[in-house]
């Protein structure tokens, strides 16, 4: 009897920016306790999962040569984690993953985590799993700290490693300009640098999260701009001093405020509206401080199936 092969499934998944990233002290397990506000942005990756006799990962698009395609690829780890969770062969699941990248690689925008989240959502559909969102979020958290958020999308308060999420009420859409740096930064190295800076002299920490939540509820980008904060920013700048110039250039170009996104080196600039974002993007692109400039908006939904594909 001929087995029916299900058609491939494609998932679109957002990137994230941290509007507020308060980093606590390092925990015994090596992670840092976080208190963060994530927002999902329209800068996306697309991931297709398909049943195959040639398992593995393929990457095309933004930064494709910098993404590992072997066992360290986070989307592949997600495939293995979900296979194990549902009792399928997880050593080499018969799955091909094709990643089309739009999110900068090693950029602090959860690009690798996004691909993992997309693989989970895609596989759940491909394998027709009877699995709830909460169960998928639990598997996501095992794969990486940011995977649950990009799976869920929107705007959320994240605690623990960043994996415990509470949705945050927001009004209106916020408009962003995103500046990609020429090279990525390693997340563990940026956290280590923060530990080092703190051991040397405890740099100032960002304020409380409540005013950020109020600004989001009000929908006023000017109010939010005053409150953007990231404890990892000083560490990212210490490792990549040129970021100071990038941040200044965005504000000089007319952004309301700029922040290093997560562990960097991508910088995100909050703008007054969509038109202003286009103007800031054009000016920043000409300032010679970064490799690529994009506009984006948020919040947007999390990882979602965008349709089947009948090709083999
Ligand atoms: O969870 P994930 O694998 O994405 O984390 C990557 C690295 O970032 C960790 O190995 C750790 O060095 C650092 N990290 C941290 N505290 C967090 C999240 C990540 O120190 N809350």
pLDDT of residue 2: 67
CB 256 within 8 A of CB 270: yes
3-state secondary structure of 59: strand
Q: Please tell me if the CB atom of residue 161 comes closer than 6 angstroms to any atom of ligand 1.
A: yes
- Residue 25 confidence (pLDDT): 87
Give 93 Cα–ligand 1 centroid separation in angstroms.
Answer: 26
pTM: 0.95
- Report the SS3 class of residue 157: strand
Regions of the chain where pLDDT drops below 70: 1-2, 307-312
Q: How far apart are CA 131 and CA 135, in angstroms?
A: 6
Work out whether strand 174-180 and strand 267-271 pair parallel, antiparallel, or are unpaired.
antiparallel
Binding site membership of 144 for ligand 1 (Cβ less than 6 Å) = yes
Q: Strand ranges (DSSP E) for 183-287? A: 229-230, 257-260, 267-271
ipTM of the complex: 0.97
Residue intervals in the chain for CATH 3.30.230.10: 9-168+300-308
**CA nearest to 11, candidates 119, 130, 132, 155:** 119
Residues of each domain in the chain carrying CATH 3.30.70.890? 174-298
CB 105 within 8 A of CB 74: no
Q: Which pLDDT value is given to residue 39?
A: 98
146 annotated active-site: yes
| Residue 112 alpha carbon, nearest atom of ligand 1 | 4
Verify whether residue 16 is a known catalytic residue: yes
CATH tag, 174-298: 3.30.70.890
145 lines ligand 1 (CB under 6 A): yes
Q: Please give the distance, rounded to the nearest whole angstrom, from the Cα atom of residue 24 to the centre of ligand 1.
A: 12
The predicted-structure confidence for 212-231, as pLDDT tens digits, reads as follows 999 999 999 999 999 999 99
Q: What is the pLDDT of residues 101-132, one digit of tens each?
A: 999 999 999 999 999 999 999 999 999 999 99
CATH 3.40.50.1820 fits 9-168+300-308, yes or no: no
Asked if 296 and 43 count as a contact pair (C-beta separation under 8 A), the reply is: yes
Residue with tokens 């109010």: 223
Task: Look at strands 56-61 and 95-101 and give their pairing.
Answer: parallel
- Residues at the binding site for ATP are 104-114
Q: Is there an atom of ligand 1 within 6 Å of 31 CB?
A: yes
């Amino acid at each position: 009897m001929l087995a029916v092969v299900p058609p491939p499934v494609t998932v679109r998944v957002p990137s994230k920016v941290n509007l507020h990233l308060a980093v606590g002290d390092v925990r015994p397990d090596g992670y840092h306790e976080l208190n963060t506000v994530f927002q999902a942005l329209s800068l996306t990756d697309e991931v297709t999962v398909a049943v195959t006799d040639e398992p593995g990962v393929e990457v095309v698009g933004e930064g494709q040569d910098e993404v590992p395609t072997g066992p360290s690829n986070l989307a592949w780890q997600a495939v293995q984690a979900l296979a194990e969770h549902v009792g399928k062969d997880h050593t080499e699941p018969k799955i091909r993953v094709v990643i089309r990248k739009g999110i900068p690689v090693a950029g602090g925008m959860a690009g690798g985590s996004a691909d993992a989240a997309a693989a989970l959502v895609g596989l759940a559909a491909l394998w027709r799993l009877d699995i709830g969102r909460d169960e998928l979020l639990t598997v996501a958290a095992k794969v990486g700290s940011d995977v649950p958020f990009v799976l869920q999308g929107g705007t959320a308060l994240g605690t623990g490693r960043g994996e415990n999420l509470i949705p945050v009420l927001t009004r209106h859409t916020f408009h962003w300009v995103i500046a990609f740096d020429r090279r990525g930064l390693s997340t563990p190295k940026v956290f280590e640098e923060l530990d080092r800076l703190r051991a040397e002299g405890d740099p100032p920490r960002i304020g409380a999260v409540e005013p950020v939540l109020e600004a989001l509820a009000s929908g006023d980008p000017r109010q939010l701009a005053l409150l953007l904060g990231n404890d990892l920013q000083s560490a990212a700048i210490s490792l990549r001093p040129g970021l100071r110039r990038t941040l200044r250039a965005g504000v000089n170009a007319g952004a309301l405020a700029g922040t290093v996104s997560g562990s960097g080196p991508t910088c995100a600039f909050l703008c007054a509206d969509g038109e202003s974002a286009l103007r800031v993007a054009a000016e920043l692109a000409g300032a010679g401080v970064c490799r690529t400039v994009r506009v984006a908006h948020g919040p947007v939904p999390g990882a979602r199936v965008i349709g089947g594909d009948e090709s083999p």
